[in-house]
Structure formats: structure tokens, C-alpha cells
């Protein structure tokens, strides 16, 4: 579980910019204190001097080491109390001249002493990934909380034998459980059905929750994803984009079948599906194609992997885009 390089490097840039800005602001605050009380600058410089330098100075004057240490300590205490007194008189806190890290866990380095990504930098990554996902998905309004079951009819579907609502209740529970337990073991989903039934909506809800929990998530449409493969192969495309697609913890490939399906696309899809299965990385595919159409359009190898390794969830009911349009009339 980790954020990918693109997200991490962007997050690190922002993290460091914020840290520099804090340092800058602190230096300005410090300067303004020194302007009001120049003596404080002297005191700070004296206190900030290294032990060894002060010791050397004392010894050069020919004092015996015990004496030197004692004098040093006394001087230190005197300076500390003078500093406190000056600061108090200015109405400032005792530690106003000390720069404290914002994150005590990592001292604002972004990594804990054992070398792991600290939660403070992790939060920047989560935000950066959320921003990336929001370019394609409506993460603001599409969540499990805002998903309504009221658009799905209670009348049993003659072919499926259950109502769209019963069906969607089951899919909703499955998807919210999927997001909650993401990371325990790899699981793949294939959501298929007619347009306007909430497939992209559910994907956005999953993406949002899984991303918030610290996993790398990439969302794109089939045509977007296959263009990345083409750019990498034939153009000056960015290698890291294909790596992100193949290596992220959760890949959501939307609208499979709406791209122009070429032999190149079929082989890219095969590579994507099989490499991710082998590496035990989770994938969600949405499509308007029925499972048997997938075999015809792509290949039997792809269809076999999807049928064998993906949880296949059929969505059916009435087009919610149209229902909403009628509501607004
Ligand atoms: N359960 C729901 N509650 C509220 N709004 C919904 C729900 N499902 C879908 N919508 C809305 O209906 C519209 C279509 O939904 P969505 O984009 O998820 O459909 P889709 O199944 O992905 O369709 P397509 O196959 O055309 O991509 C969107 O505006 C979405 O916000
Ligand atoms: Mg969709
Ligand atoms: Zn930290």
C-alpha cells in the first residue's frame, strides 16, 4: 500500500513549499522581535553557540575545566532568565524565539525515524490523489452517503426475476463492503449494464473511500487508458503513466467498449488484466457490454480471466439521467 511516484513527488513539493513558508514566516517574526529588543539577538547568538566553542574560550583564558563548566552553566542560566524576562515584558511566550516543527513525529522531514512515510506527508499525498481523481470524477457529490436507491424500481425484472431495487441494494452493499475492506485481499469487480444506472457513481464512491484510506487509486476511461499505452509505445509518452495504471493498488477502468477497439487495444487490455491479476492488484471495470459480448469484441483469454477472477455485477433498471431530467421538468 503506497501512493505512486507522481502523487508522492507532487505532494512532496507542496509539503516542502509549506515548510519553507513556515520557516520564512518564523524568521520574519524572529526578526521583528529582535528589532524591538536587540539584546535578544545577542542572547540568542550566545545561547546558540556550541558548547565546545564556549568551553574552548573558557579554557583559553586558563580556567580549570570544572570551573569553566560551572561558569558556563551560570552564564547560561542568567541568559535564559534575562531572555524570559525580556520576552515577558514584550508580552511574548518564553519559546517565541524557538522554531518548533509542526509535526513532532518526523520533525517535518516527512519520514519517521524508521524510514516510513509520516502521517503528515501522507495527508498531503491523500489530498493530491483526491485532486487528481477529481479531475475525472465528481468526488464531491458522489459518495455512498449520497447514493439513492429511490431511482431503482420495485417491480421485478422479468428476466432477472428480482427488482432493480433489490438488485441495487445487493450491489450497493457489495461495493460499500468492498471499499471498507479494501486491502485485505485483492478483489476485482465487473459492473455491467445499460447507460445511466450508477456504475460510474459507485466507482467514484469506492475511489473516494479507498483513496482516503491511503491506497493509490487511478481512475480513467478505457479510451484514456489505452491512449496512455499508445503514447508510451508510439510516441514520446510518459512511461510513468502506464506504470501508474499497471501498479496502482486500485485501477478503475470505466466505459470499456466505448473506445475504438483495435488489435493494439485488445493486447493492452490483456496485458493490463493479466499483469494486475498476477501481481494481486485490484481492478474495477465498468462497461455497457454483456459478458458474452466481451469475448466477441476482445478475446477469449480476456473474457475467461474476467469471468473467472472478477465478481460480475449486473446493473439494470431505468436510465437515471432520464429520470432526473423528467424530475426537473
Ligand atoms: N443511485 C443514484 N443516486 C443518485 N444519482 C444517481 C444514482 N445513480 C446515478 N445517478 C446519477 O445519474 C447519472 C448517471 O449515473 P452514472 O454516470 O453513474 O451512470 P453509468 O451507469 O456510469 O452510465 P454509463 O454507462 O452511461 O457510463 C449521473 O448524473 C449520476 O450522478
Ligand atoms: Mg459511466
Ligand atoms: Zn510528520
DSSP letters for 202-247: HHHHHHHHHHHTT--EEEEEHHHHHHHHHHHHHSS--HHHHHHHHH
* pLDDT for the residue numbered 275: 97
User: Would you say the CB of residue 199 lies under 6 angstroms from ligand 1?
Assistant: yes
Q: Pick the residue whose CA is nearest to atom 16 on ligand 1.
A: 198
User: Among the residues of 37-150, which ranges form H helices?
Assistant: 38-48, 51-60, 65-89, 119-134
User: Would you say the CB of residue 144 lies under 6 angstroms from ligand 1?
Assistant: no
Cell numbers at residue 268, please? 493492452
Alpha-carbon gap, residue 283 to 310, rounded angstroms: 9
The domain locations on the chain are 136-327
- Give the Å distances, CA to CA, from 45 to 36, 48, 61, 72, 85: 16, 5, 21, 15, 17
Of 194, 189, 229, 193, the residue nearest 205 (C-alpha):
189
Cell numbers at residue 212, please? 482516503
Query: What residues have their beta carbon closer than 5 A to ion ligand 3?
Result: 103, 105-106, 118, 120
DSSP 188-211: EEEEEESTTSSHHHHHHHHHHHHH
Distance 82 CA to ligand 1 centre (A): 68
Distance 92 CA to ligand 3 centre (A): 27
User: Would you say the CB of residue 197 lies under 6 angstroms from ligand 1?
Assistant: yes
Q: Pick the residue whose CA is nearest to atom 8 on ligand 1.
A: 198
Listed as ranges, residues in the chain with pLDDT below 70 are 1, 50-54, 57-58, 63, 237
Alpha-carbon gap, residue 74 to 57, rounded angstroms: 15
User: Would you say the CB of residue 206 lies under 6 angstroms from ligand 1?
Assistant: no
DSSP 19-33: HHHHHHHHHHHHHHH
Distance between the two ends of the chain, CA-based, in angstroms?
A: 47
- Give the Å distances, CA to CA, from 96 to 30, 32, 294, 306, 318: 8, 11, 67, 62, 64
User: Would you say the CB of residue 198 lies under 6 angstroms from ligand 1?
Assistant: yes
Helix (H, G, I), strand (E, B) or coil at 97: coil
What pTM did the predictor assign?
A: 0.85
Determine contact, residues 192/315, Cβ cutoff 8 Å: yes
User: Would you say the CB of residue 214 lies under 6 angstroms from ligand 1?
Assistant: no
Per CATH, domain 136-327 is 3.40.50.300: yes
Specify whether the backbone of 169 is left (phi greater than 0), alpha (psi in -120 to 50) or beta: alpha
Give the gyration radius of the chain's Cα atoms. Answer: 30
Please state the atom number of ligand 1 nearest to the C-alpha of residue 203. Answer: 18
User: Would you say the CB of residue 320 lies under 6 angstroms from ligand 1?
Assistant: yes
Amino acid at each position: 500500500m503506497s501512493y505512486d511516484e507522481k502523487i508522492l513527488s507532487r505532494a512532496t513539493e507542496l509539503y516542502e513549499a509549506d515548510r519553507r513558508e513556515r520557516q520564512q514566516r518564523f524568521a520574519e517574526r524572529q526578526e521583528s522581535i529582535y528589532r524591538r529588543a536587540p539584546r535578544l539577538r545577542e542572547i540568542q547568538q550566545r545561547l546558540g553557540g556550541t558548547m565546545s566553542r564556549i568551553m574552548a574560550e573558557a579554557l583559553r583564558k586558563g580556567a580549570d575545566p570544572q570551573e569553566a563548566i560551572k561558569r558556563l552553566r551560570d552564564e547560561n542560566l542568567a541568559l535564559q532568565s534575562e531572555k524570559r524576562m525580556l520576552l515577558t515584558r514584550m508580552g511574548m511566550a518564553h519559546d517565541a524565539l524557538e522554531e518548533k516543527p509542526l509535526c513532532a513525529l518526523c520533525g517535518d522531514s516527512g519520514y519517521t525515524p524508521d524510514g516510513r512515510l509520516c502521517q503528515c506527508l501522507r495527508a498531503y499525498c491523500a489530498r493530491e490523489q483526491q485532486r487528481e481523481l477529481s479531475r475525472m470524477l465528481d468526488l464531491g457529490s458522489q459518495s455512498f452517503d449520497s447514493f439513492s436507491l429511490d431511482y431503482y424500481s420495485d417491480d421485478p425484472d422479468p428476466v432477472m426475476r428480482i427488482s432493480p431495487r433489490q438488485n441495487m441494494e445487493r450491489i450497493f452493499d457489495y461495493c460499500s463492503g468492498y471499499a471498507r475492506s479494501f486491502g485485505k485481499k485483492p478483489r476485482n469487480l465487473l459492473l455491467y449494464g445499460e447507460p445511466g444506472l450508477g456504475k460510474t457513481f459507485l466507482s467514484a464512491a469506492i475511489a473516494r473511500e479507498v483513496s482516503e484510506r491511503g491506497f493509490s487509486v487511478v481512475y480513467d476511461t478505457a479510451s484514456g487508458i489505452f491512449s496512455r499505452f499508445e503514447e508510451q509505445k508510439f510516441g514520446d509518452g510518459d512511461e510513468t503513466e502506464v506504470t501508474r495504471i499497471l501498479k496502482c493498488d486500485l485501477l478503475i477502468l470505466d466505459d470499456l467498449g466505448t473506445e475504438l477497439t483495435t488489435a493494439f487495444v485488445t493486447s493492452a487490455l490483456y496485458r493490463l488484466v493479466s499483469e494486475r491479476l498476477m501481481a494481486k492488484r485490484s481492478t474495477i471495470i465498468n462497461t455497457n457490454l454483456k459478458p458474452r459480448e466481451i469475448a466477441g469484441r476482445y478475446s477469449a483469454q480476456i473474457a475467461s480471466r474476467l469471468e473467472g477472477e472478477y465478481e460480475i455485477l449486473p446493473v439494470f433498471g431505468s436510465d437515471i439521467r432520464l429520470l432526473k431530467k423528467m424530475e426537473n421538468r
